[in-house]
Structure 1
Amino acid sequence: MARFSFRGFVYVLIVMLGLLSAAPNILPQSIKQQLPTWYTTSTLSLGLDLQGGSHLLLAADTNALFEKQLNSFSSDLLSELRSQNVRYTKTSHSLTHKDSRSGSVVFTLRNADDARKVNDIAYQISAQPNGSSALDVEIKQSTVTLTLNELYTEQLVKDTLSRSVEVVRKRLNETGLTEPSVTLQGKDAILVQMPGMSDPTQVKKLLGTTAQMTFHWAANSQSEQVMNKQDAAGNTYRLEQKVALEGEHITDAAGVLSSENGQPVVTFRLDSAGAKQFATMTRDNIGRVLAIVLDDKVVTAPVINSVIPGGRGEITGNFTLPEAGNTALMLRTGALPVPLTIIEERTVGPDLGSDAIQTGVESGVAGALLVLAFMVAIYGRWGAIASFALCINMALVFGALTLFGATLTLPGIAGLILTMGMAVDANILINERIREESKKGRPAASAIEVGFDKAFATIVDSNFTTLIAVSLLFMFGSGPIKGFAITIALGLVSSVFTAVALTKMLMLRVVKSKHKNTQDRAQQRVPLRFSSPLLRLSDKLSGINFLAKRKIALAVSVVLTVLSIGLFAKPGLHYGVDFTGGTMIELTAPTLTTDELRNVIESNGFDQIAIQEYGSEHHYLLRAPVLDSSGELENSNAKQTDALKRAISQADSEVSFDKIDMVGPRC
């Protein structure tokens, strides 16, 4: 008895913990004000598909990163070889496929005996803290091939993405966005979620700009390595490839109006080291042109007429005031160490998000009521006990999600409804096993014990196999798929507990309390009664003996299985934009008919876009195929989407873009 009481105490403790964890999600504000803040703020947050907002997936251009590092190491190596009078002939500098870790630099030694010097110098200039070398040197006869070490590139990508996340987060915080979320996803992508933002156009420009600023002197006769750069007007400048000053020394920047001509300019301030270097370089190069290069474009190229002390400067160009402000913001927050391209964009308007919440709640409540009514109608008071356990089960799932700080999404709501369905299966199985034992004449308590024992193995097996499938979804899925998997996994654990442990305890308590005051032992041995009319009707109906017709059943199953597999080949599956790439836009254009919308789209050069009336009047669904699959223009779909939105907005000023899904070729 003591053991059972202790077990019951543990069950009650678990249930109370789950209910207390879930309670802040439904408590009214008047009660929350009287409770501790740490408790009331622990609630489920809504995903972007429920509250509205934008989701951007940015991919890092690791190919550009590897090329930059390889150029840097190879330049240092070749410069050191020249200083030691090692003669060579440079033959090639090539990049491999974009998914490869790097390209290669190839040169030929005039004297094959210098191979050892090449190895020694390569190690000196690329030695890492762990003792390894960032460069792999392969020498065949007199031909030297330089590539980046694989372990180095892996660590380089990891460090670069970590720095990129911080830069992206700083830029978003500077814009004043409410609680933006910036996280790593996979090996080379950054996920940005912005609740409440229905038009991320400006943010995309902000995040798509690397803002790598460097200072270069104009090339002269003594310059060894030169490069050509253009400004916004198309003028070409011949500059030294060597960087005179890095933009990383900038500590502050602001977009202001010039006191001289009233034009927007960007003022900047350098740190102490940068200020000292800037003063020295301007003192030694009076009369030379110093070009300021921002993302491979010359923004200004003034002539240095005197020493510039103090570390302060001004960038002039054809800026508007907002452009000057954005440029200053990017300089303040630092340059992105690697270019980022938008490979996926998902935007949900606030109205569509609120509709999704209402629809999810209504469907969930309706499904729950139908399930509970079914259980009570079939199994009477025993079904009512199972229904009570189902309600506790859902509360425990909400409590667990709250404790883990999970985000509730539409797939999560689907997972909750599916959890209830699986929990009902377990309760039906238990009640049927108890019915079978009661028909054999077993007393109520014994029938419950044996029924639960017989159902236990089946329940655990079915839930365990489902848990394996859910684990695979979590491992290989992303975003909402992982949320769905987590919800199902928590629901499986909770449903096993409520169905096997809690329901059994409640049923035994009901049986024992019913016979607590009776002294009639015969009465205590009465079997359980399932008096539902539906059950009595089902008992009268003769079932189908599938085992007697097993050969026919197996043959039909094989035929249906083969036909189902054949349908994969023809007509085949119809893939959505998540698999094929492309853009899908849901919009409401109150003043445009279908033909007028089609004319607007086609007149702006979007010939491949399919238009479909969707839902209510003036609500349309647009589908556009992926523009580029080579990866060279991965922002092309994002640019197409922005251009399409501008064209439709010009034709209908009242248009609202309810949902946008853009998936690039790399996804």
Structure 2
Amino acid sequence: MLQIETWKRALIWALVVAGLVLAAPNLFYNRVEGHNDALSRIETSGATPELEAQAGQWPSWLPSNLVNLGLDLRGGAHLLTEVRLAEVYESRMESFWPTVRDALRDARSDVGTIRLQDSAPGTLRVRISNPDGMARALEVVRGLAQPVASLTGAGTTDLAVSGEGSDVVIELSEAERQATDERTMQQSLEIIRRRIDEVGTREPTIQRQGADRILIEVPGLGSADELKAIIGTTAQLTFQPVVSRTADANEVPGSGNEVLPSLDEEGVYYVLEQAPVVTGEQLTDSQPSFDQNGRPAVTFRFNPGGARAFGDYTAANIGSPFAIVLDDEVISAPVIQSHIPGGSGIITGNFTVEESTNLAVLLRAGALPAELDFLEERTVGPQLGQDSIDAGKLATAVAFGLVLVFMFATYGLFGFFANIALVLNIALILGVLSSIGATLTLPGIAGIVLTVGMAVDANVLIFERIREEMKSARGPARAIELGYSRALSAIVDANITTIITAIILYVMGSGPVRGFAITLGLGIITSVFTAIWVTRLLIVMWFERRRPRTLEI
């Protein structure tokens, strides 16, 4: 018998209504977007009458999830960056020198005096005065090596140590370089994502490309320069011992030292030890604040390891100056007045309130492990994005209209039922995209247009099968029943292959290809649901009311 149980009917209509409700906010895109932005700002900075009025533009009890518009639809900024991985090797070796120095000093009776030599970046070269103690020196330094923390480097150590005459040459091993590259890229990706999230941008695309490149796309941002300002600052904070103060920028600092300018004092330079006591990587929090004189400042707090190192250094160097260095400039160089336990402190300087807030954001987001080179930058204007939206709407409308006309002209009333299912199918796609927070791009619109064309395939198979059954002198009810049951296998087979293709595109592709795969895959699922269940329910409801003796199909 041609019938559908009551609970199935209720479930089908419930799913359709849920899809329509979830898709509805996209009809009032600007209003809902303003509502969401106001709620976000109220949560972070507190309520104001203007924000509360903006939040009231959309009822709080209604869904407010939207389909996010991608860079090519909304406009925004595009950057392709390259991470300077070699700088990480150099930084590692510079910070390793105090450890090597202390270890070799304990073996001074065998190796004699030790002196740091100039060497290529990423290499540490230490000269010993007693060449006969080279074997002992190599043994001591190799004892400082640690196992490589990666699956590919299992069983190897992080240092490659060799002797050249009276020099001990220390480098990172190949396995450690590979592991370091992977960690650096992952850290850079995470820090860039956190910095962009701090600014409150919507649905950025941040993904790795190749061995050392990162693609960054932020919809809604005014220009590529704004994006570079957000992520381009390395915010490398270090606390370094002060050797001396000078007015000569060209003063030879000596091995293991460097000359850096003062941020606030014109013509003043500091000679500092290159190896920092503590770095910004050990920061756990940073907030804008004010010093005892009411001037803008930035507070900071270290993790347990950083707090211990900071406390030990201040306890052992009371009365000596130490420098707070940000991006190769000395912010301040206070004298240590007393032991500073607890790992917290304050950075003072000639900051404005905005500068102290931005500095706190950069420090809280973390320091980039290496500088970035901007290989490609592009700004997509909002007008171009609007043109893309208009073109996508036109393409969808034309495809949609032609399919509707064809189905009604070919199958009459049954074609009308298929057209209702097609409209619901588009609404369900938008509803699902909104609920999962997906980003719609031009390729995504292409996926929807393709879905419109493919959505009627299942109905065509079913209706043609019903025609075949009617020719076999079966009654209308039996013909409809057999038409749906016998066309089901062909519908499932055809759509499973398309789903597999969409999955492969999503897994193997990136960026626009993934956007196309998502809309195509979701479109196939919703179109099968509307074709097999929604149209069948509509036909059953019509048949129960009219009880026709024949089918005009």
TM-score, normalised relative to structure 2: 0.70
Partner of 2:249: none
| Distance in 1 (alpha carbons) for counterparts of 2:290 and 2:226 | 17
- Offset, 1:198: 2.2
Partner of 2:256: 225
Pairing 1:14-413 to 2, within 5 Å after superposition: 14-26=15-27, 37-56=60-79, 58-73=81-96, 76-77=99-100, 79-85=102-108, 87=111, 110-112=133-135, 117-123=140-146, 135-137=157-159, 146-147=172-173, 149=176, 153=180, 156-157=183-184, 160-161=187-188, 164-165=191-192, 168-169=195-196, 172-173=198-199, 179-181=201-203, 184-186=206-208, 194-214=218-238, 215-218=240-243, 225-227=256-258, 239-243=272-276, 246=279, 251=286, 284-285=319-320, 293-296=325-328, 298=329, 330=362, 335-413=367-445
Matched to 2:430, the amino acid is F
* Structure 1 residues 10 and 343: CA distance shift in structure 2, 3 A: farther
- Offset, 1:48: 3.4
Q: 1:445 aligns with which of 477, 483, 486?
A: 477
- Offset, 1:161: 3.5
Contact 2:134 2:163 in 1 (8 A): no
Contact 1:52 1:350 in 2 (8 A): yes
Partner of 1:498: 530
- Offset, 1:67: 3.7
Q: 1:479 aligns with which of 511, 517, 523?
A: 511
TM-score, normalised relative to structure 1: 0.59
* Structure 1 residues 339 and 139: CA distance shift in structure 2, 3 A: closer
| Distance in 1 (alpha carbons) for counterparts of 2:412 and 2:190 | 61
Partner of 1:616: none
Matched to 2:77, the amino acid is S
Structure 2 unpaired stretches of 5+: 33-54, 246-251
Pairing 1:562-573 to 2, within 5 Å after superposition: none
* Structure 1 residues 325 and 444: CA distance shift in structure 2, 3 A: closer
| Distance in 2 (alpha carbons) for counterparts of 1:107 and 1:305 | 31
Partner of 1:433: 465
Contact 1:128 1:134 in 2 (8 A): no
- Offset, 1:144: 7.2
Contact 1:51 1:195 in 2 (8 A): yes
Deviations 1:594-613 (A, max 9, x none): xxxxxxxxxxxxxxxxxxxx
Q: Secondary structure at the match of 1:386?
A: helix
| Distance in 2 (alpha carbons) for counterparts of 1:332 and 1:271 | 10
Q: Secondary structure at the match of 1:39?
A: coil
- Offset, 1:394: 1.4
Deviations 1:107-154 (A, max 9, x none): 89844466654443324xx79799x89943567899876426378537
- Offset, 1:13: 2.9
| Distance in 2 (alpha carbons) for counterparts of 1:151 and 1:144 | 17
Q: Secondary structure at the match of 1:413?
A: helix
Partner of 1:423: 455
Deviations 1:403-425 (A, max 9, x none): 21222332222211110101123
Contact 1:415 1:488 in 2 (8 A): yes
Deviations 1:51-100 (A, max 9, x none): 333344555444323442354346524541332336399999767xxxxx
- Offset, 1:203: 3.8
Contact 1:138 1:145 in 2 (8 A): yes
| Distance in 2 (alpha carbons) for counterparts of 1:471 and 1:74 | 50
| Distance in 1 (alpha carbons) for counterparts of 2:372 and 2:253 | 36
* Structure 1 residues 308 and 345: CA distance shift in structure 2, 3 A: farther
| Distance in 2 (alpha carbons) for counterparts of 1:321 and 1:36 | 36
| Distance in 1 (alpha carbons) for counterparts of 2:74 and 2:161 | 59
| Distance in 2 (alpha carbons) for counterparts of 1:145 and 1:324 | 38
Q: Secondary structure at the match of 1:4?
A: coil
Matched to 2:207, the amino acid is Q
Contact 2:443 2:516 in 1 (8 A): yes
Tell me which moved more, 70-79 or 323-332: 323-332
- Offset, 1:204: 1.1
Deviations 1:266-285 (A, max 9, x none): 96666696997897788544
| Distance in 1 (alpha carbons) for counterparts of 2:312 and 2:141 | 32
- Offset, 1:314: 5.5
| Distance in 1 (alpha carbons) for counterparts of 2:376 and 2:163 | 48
* Structure 1 residues 398 and 127: CA distance shift in structure 2, 3 A: closer
Q: Secondary structure at the match of 1:26?
A: helix
Contact 1:185 1:191 in 2 (8 A): yes
How many residue pairs end up in the alignment?
493
Deviations 1:269-319 (A, max 9, x none): 666969978977885447xxx7665434x45798x8996999666557xx9
Q: 2:493 aligns with which of 461, 474, 480?
A: 461
* Structure 1 residues 372 and 3: CA distance shift in structure 2, 3 A: closer
Pairing 1:632-643 to 2, within 5 Å after superposition: none
| Distance in 1 (alpha carbons) for counterparts of 2:419 and 2:64 | 30
| Distance in 2 (alpha carbons) for counterparts of 1:89 and 1:379 | 91
> Comparing both chains, which one has the higher relative contact order based on Cα–Cα distances under 8 Å and sequence gaps of 6 or more?
2
- Offset, 1:367: 2.2
| Distance in 2 (alpha carbons) for counterparts of 1:244 and 1:141 | 29
| Distance in 2 (alpha carbons) for counterparts of 1:180 and 1:512 | 49
1:4 correspondence with 2:4: yes
Q: Secondary structure at the match of 1:122?
A: coil
| Distance in 2 (alpha carbons) for counterparts of 1:45 and 1:484 | 14
Tell me which moved more, 349-358 or 384-393: 349-358
Contact 2:148 2:158 in 1 (8 A): no
| Distance in 2 (alpha carbons) for counterparts of 1:25 and 1:323 | 38
Structure 1 unpaired stretches of 5+: 96-102, 260-264, 517-523, 531-667
Matched to 2:12, the amino acid is Y
Contact 1:217 1:244 in 2 (8 A): no
Structure 1 vs Structure 2: percent identity of aligned residues?
34
Tell me which moved more, 16-25 or 469-478: 16-25
Matched to 2:439, the amino acid is T
Contact 1:138 1:146 in 2 (8 A): yes
| Distance in 2 (alpha carbons) for counterparts of 1:33 and 1:293 | 46
